[in-house]
């Protein structure tokens, strides 16, 4: 049995603009962390390992459900061009979007960066 959807039925659904998509609230204060930004298999792909800890911060996009994308990152970080063969050490100003829970990865988004150093891995 074929399912047929008419174009007129789609007109009843409101179109969402970028402004109407909910963003994360600033419920948790932003802070600076020194560490390493690198990609990893899994979700979220981008993670910050704060130096001297066993914690991982998962980097997400600015809206709930969004993955981190280069367009939302600070310009200096985009120019560093991190990837699987280039990890970036530096100071990251992160804004948490989830509460701190022992044993859980805390999700953050990156607001600003400073003192970046690029480490090339293997050739």
pTM here is 0.74
The three-class DSSP label of residue 41 is coil
| DSSP helix/strand/coil, 118 | strand
CA torsion through residues 10, 13, 14, 20, sign = negative
Which run of H or E residues covers position 76?
Answer: helix 75-80
Question: In this structure, are residues 78 and 70 in contact, taking their beta carbons and an 8 Å threshold?
Answer: yes
Tell whether the model's pLDDT for residue 115 goes beyond 60: yes
Q: Where are the domains of the chain?
A: 24-120
Alpha helices in 4-61, H assignment, sequence order: 7-10
The 10s digit of each residue's pLDDT in 26-78 is: 678 999 999 999 999 988 999 999 999 999 999 997 666 566 667 778 889 98
Tens-place pLDDT, residues 90-100? 999 999 999 99
Could you give the angle at the alpha carbon of 78 between the alpha carbons of 109 and 45, nearest 5°? 50
How far, in Å, CA of 54 to CA of 84, rounded? 21
């Amino acid at each position: 049995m074929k399912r047929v959807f008419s174009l007129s039925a789609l007109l009843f659904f409101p179109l969402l603009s970028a402004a109407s998509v909910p963003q994360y609230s600033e419920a948790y204060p932003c802070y600076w962390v020194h560490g390493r930004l690198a990609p990893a298999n899994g979700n979220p792909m981008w993670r910050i390992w704060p130096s001297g800890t066993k914690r991982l911060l998962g980097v997400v996009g600015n809206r709930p459900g969004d993955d981190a994308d280069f367009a939302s990152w600070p310009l200096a970080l985009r120019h560093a061009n991190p990837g699987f063969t280039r990890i970036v050490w530096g100071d990251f100003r992160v804004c948490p979007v989830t509460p701190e829970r022992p044993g859980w990865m805390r999700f953050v988004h990156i607001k600003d960066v400073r003192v970046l150093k690029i480490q090339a891995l293997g050739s």
